[in-house]
Amino acid sequence: MARRLNFLTPGVFAGAIVVGGLLFAALVLGLWLTRPSPTPKGPATAVVKIIPAPSSTPLVPTSPPIPTPTPTTPITIPPVSGVIQVGNYVQVTGTGGDGLRVRAEPGLQGKMVFLAIEAEVLRVDDGPREIDGYTWWHLVAPYDEKLQGWAVANFLVAIQNP
């Protein structure tokens, strides 16, 4: 008589149940991952977040400033009469390129306010005053009224009004 093989042993049965359970779990997981997403009911609501604008916009220069070229030779304007007087214009000359110290008060002890460059033109506003052995004139820069002070006449020459 032929021998009959019995494949349904307890180990094979338990293995079949485990493999079947894993296949079922994979099927359920696959169906769950591929399901269509639920569609919202009704119209969608947009969320708007308002960001306050800055109170002022800073000005940004579009190009760097172009420097003004310095003249290489002094511009000399001939004097009218060679006499310095209030209301006329004078030109700084004879400083050897060092410039003329313009002071807050007449005299060598006065605080220096600014340095007038060689060939600079200034307006005579007051004077003359004789102090420390020099004749002093009160000068004002015609391009900036804040630049004013006293300077010695030794480095000034009267010019025709520009």
**What CATH architecture does domain 89-159 belong to?**
Roll (2.30)
Backbone angles phi, psi at 55, to 5 degrees: -70, -25
- Mean residue pLDDT of the chain comes to 81
Predicted pLDDT at 111: 95
pLDDT (0 to 100) of residue 79: 45
pTM to 2 decimal places: 0.51
As a whole-number percent, the residues of the chain with pLDDT over 90 amount to 44
pLDDT for 61-99, tens place per residue? Answer: 666 667 776 666 555 555 445 689 999 999 999 999 899
Distance CA 149, CA 106 (A): 8
Tens of pLDDT, residue by residue over 8-35, are 677 777 888 888 899 998 888 888 777 7
- In eight-state DSSP terms, residue 153 is G
Q: Dmax over Cα atoms in the chain, in whole Å?
A: 155
Contact 162, 88 (CB under 8 A): no
Q: How far is C-alpha 91 from the geometric centre of its chain's CA atoms?
A: 36
**What is d(CA 16, CA 11) in angstroms, rounded to the nearest whole number?**
9
> Structural domain boundaries of the chain?
89-159
